[in-house]
A and B are shown apart, each in its own frame.
Chain A
Amino acid sequence: MSGTFDVAVVGAGVNGGTTALFLARGGMRVAVVDKGPICREASGVNAGTLTMQMTRVALIPFALEAHAMWASAASWLGHDVGVVVCDGLSLAFTEREAALLTERAGKRREAGAPIEIIDGQHALAIEPGLSDKVLIAGHCRVDGYANAYLTGLAYRRALLEAGVALFENRRVIGVDRDGGAWSLATAAGPIRARRVVLAGGVWLEAMAAWFGVRLPIKTLVNQLSVTERVAPAMRTVIGIASGLLSLKQYPHGTVVIGGGWQGVGDRETGETAIVAESLIGNVRLACHTIPALARSRIARAWAGFEAETADALPAVGALPGVDDVHVIGSVHSGYTSGPYIAKLLAGQLLGEAPRRSLAPFDPARLVTA
């Protein structure tokens, strides 16, 4: 494709895809470039949890807005990602977990999340298949989940309908300055744009390095597993106060088990591998929580890369010291909050009056010498 785009977004996940979508609808000529197929990385392989109860306090206002976006995906995305809005429970099985839960749910509630603490009996009433060993639970009526693997198809259709030029399987290997524009180098030729948005997940560090900026990004290798279709065993989206479990059953019957148990992986090669002990520990937690799951079979396990900054808050905004380059990433619970944060960034680039400040996520705080 010849010509110079107004914006090139590098990384076709939820962050990059949503930014590109709103930029295109705002009238810009937009390219999205990804080393692989759209939404193949974190955005396509995460557990799909949309919960306030694992969201960082500082991100609660953003998560609430993003949750509303997901719930009304038909209106802005236009295509189905299988969003289900439902009760969410964050469980405490021990006194220590109960104390942790009470403190954290309180802080999240102060930040605007509709979370109340309920006792084990009440939790059982909401979730009849629940273990009877729950002491207390955080209850949020507007948690939910989406179907991560549908994300790619939905965004692809939305982006193409919005007139975005989508370059899949097109790895950017470096950048050059070309007149008043940036030139993204790829094996199949350069892609030129006046401005660049880096939305590369764990690869954001390498991308910032193209511009001579040191932005350390930690790589988490999150493991997930899924059962085959089983009879209805649960109706809420469940977590544990310790944070080590996410659990949900999709309408078609499979149960996805996650929670951040670590596999092994190398972001340079893109390869991941499952750690058996992590799978066993994760599934034990799931069965402790919903005992009926012991009668299921685990059909598949996989791992994906999650990006984390030094202070575990997002990196969103102008890349320090570089003209016309912005970053968006490491959103932590990125799937939950990503669409709204991306929409804000797009608004900023379109010169619109900001609805909410992205200043707390200024990447400058993370840049090292």
Chain B
Amino acid sequence: MIERIRNADVSTPPAVVIRVDDREIEALPGESLVAALLASGRLVFKHSPRADAARGPFCLMGVCQDCLVELDGMPVLACQEPVRAGMAVRLLAPPR
């Protein structure tokens, strides 16, 4: 289970709401979208092209392309995209 680390070393801003596949989740403004998605429990982002195998974020640094999502209809890497209140995200894998 991916969890947020909460301790006194770092204080985070108040959470905002973003839409992911028609559901609302909480996210921290300025954090990477992939962090918000992982923290909300989404591990499966898409399926592989030939084997149709479940895939999720792997490298978190813009290399593996497995965190590709749709933001306002456009393909973006969730690990390179900062959270903004109200953003509308679709994952390429349907939610289960």
* B75 at interface, CB cutoff 8 A: yes
Contact B49 A229 (CB under 8 A): yes
| Segment 214-258 of A: residues with Cβ below 8 Å from B | 228-229, 252-253
* B73 at interface, CB cutoff 8 A: yes
| Segment 35-80 of B: residues with Cβ below 8 Å from A | 49, 65, 73-75
Contact B49 A295 (CB under 8 A): no
Contact B75 A296 (CB under 8 A): yes
Contact A253 B73 (CB under 8 A): no
Q: Give chain A nearest CB distance to B88 CB in angstroms.
A: 15
Q: Chain B residues near A296 (CB, 8 Å)?
A: 75
| A297 nearest in chain B by CB position | B75
Q: Give chain B nearest CB distance to A299 CB in angstroms.
A: 9
Q: Chain B residues near A253 (CB, 8 Å)?
A: 49
Q: Give chain B nearest CB distance to A297 CB in angstroms.
A: 5
> Can you list the 3 inter-chain pairs with the closest CB atoms, starting with the nearest?
A297-B75, A229-B49, A295-B74
Q: A228-B65, A297-B75 are in contact. List 7 more A-B contacts (CB 8 A).
A: A229-B49, A252-B49, A253-B49, A295-B73, A295-B74, A295-B75, A296-B75
Q: How long is the Cα–Cα vector from A296 to B73 in the complex, in angstroms?
A: 10
Q: How long is the Cα–Cα vector from A297 to B65 in the complex, in angstroms?
A: 11
| Segment 239-283 of A: residues with Cβ below 8 Å from B | 252-253
| A253 nearest in chain B by CB position | B49
9 A-B pairs, CB-CB below 8 angstroms? A228-B65, A229-B49, A252-B49, A253-B49, A295-B73, A295-B74, A295-B75, A296-B75, A297-B75
Q: Give chain B nearest CB distance to A369 CB in angstroms.
A: 56
Q: Give chain A nearest CB distance to B62 CB in angstroms.
A: 12
Q: How long is the Cα–Cα vector from A189 to B35 in the complex, in angstroms?
A: 61
Q: How long is the Cα–Cα vector from A3 to B68 in the complex, in angstroms?
A: 58
Q: Chain A residues near B49 (CB, 8 Å)?
A: 229, 252-253
Q: How long is the Cα–Cα vector from A229 to B92 in the complex, in angstroms?
A: 12
Q: Give chain A nearest CB distance to B93 CB in angstroms.
A: 14
Q: Chain B residues near A229 (CB, 8 Å)?
A: 49
| A296 nearest in chain B by CB position | B75
Q: Chain A residues near B65 (CB, 8 Å)?
A: 228
Q: How long is the Cα–Cα vector from A296 to B65 in the complex, in angstroms?
A: 14
Q: Give chain B nearest CB distance to A230 CB in angstroms.
A: 8
Q: Give chain B nearest CB distance to A233 CB in angstroms.
A: 13
Interface string of B12-25 (1 = CB under 8 A from A): 00000000000000
Q: Chain B residues near A295 (CB, 8 Å)?
A: 73-75
| A231 nearest in chain B by CB position | B92
Q: How long is the Cα–Cα vector from A229 to B75 in the complex, in angstroms?
A: 12
| A252 nearest in chain B by CB position | B49
Q: How long is the Cα–Cα vector from A27 to B49 in the complex, in angstroms?
A: 44
| B73 nearest in chain A by CB position | A295
Q: Give chain B nearest CB distance to A234 CB in angstroms.
A: 18
Of A252, A253, A295, most B-chain CB atoms within 10 Å: A295
| Segment 3-47 of A: residues with Cβ below 8 Å from B | none
Q: Chain A residues near B73 (CB, 8 Å)?
A: 295
Q: Give chain B nearest CB distance to A224 CB in angstroms.
A: 21
Interface string of A283-295 (1 = CB under 8 A from B): 0000000000001
Q: How long is the Cα–Cα vector from A253 to B49 in the complex, in angstroms?
A: 9
| B70 nearest in chain A by CB position | A295
Q: How long is the Cα–Cα vector from A252 to B50 in the complex, in angstroms?
A: 9
| B72 nearest in chain A by CB position | A295
Interface string of A106-123 (1 = CB under 8 A from B): 000000000000000000
Q: How long is the Cα–Cα vector from A252 to B49 in the complex, in angstroms?
A: 8
| Segment 300-337 of A: residues with Cβ below 8 Å from B | none
| A299 nearest in chain B by CB position | B65
Q: How long is the Cα–Cα vector from A295 to B74 in the complex, in angstroms?
A: 5
Q: How long is the Cα–Cα vector from A363 to B74 in the complex, in angstroms?
A: 52
Q: Chain B residues near A297 (CB, 8 Å)?
A: 75
Q: Chain B residues near A228 (CB, 8 Å)?
A: 65
Q: Give chain A nearest CB distance to B9 CB in angstroms.
A: 37
Q: How long is the Cα–Cα vector from A228 to B74 in the complex, in angstroms?
A: 13
Q: How long is the Cα–Cα vector from A295 to B92 in the complex, in angstroms?
A: 14
Q: How long is the Cα–Cα vector from A295 to B70 in the complex, in angstroms?
A: 9
Q: How long is the Cα–Cα vector from A32 to B65 in the complex, in angstroms?
A: 41
Q: How long is the Cα–Cα vector from A252 to B48 in the complex, in angstroms?
A: 12
Q: Give chain A nearest CB distance to B13 CB in angstroms.
A: 31
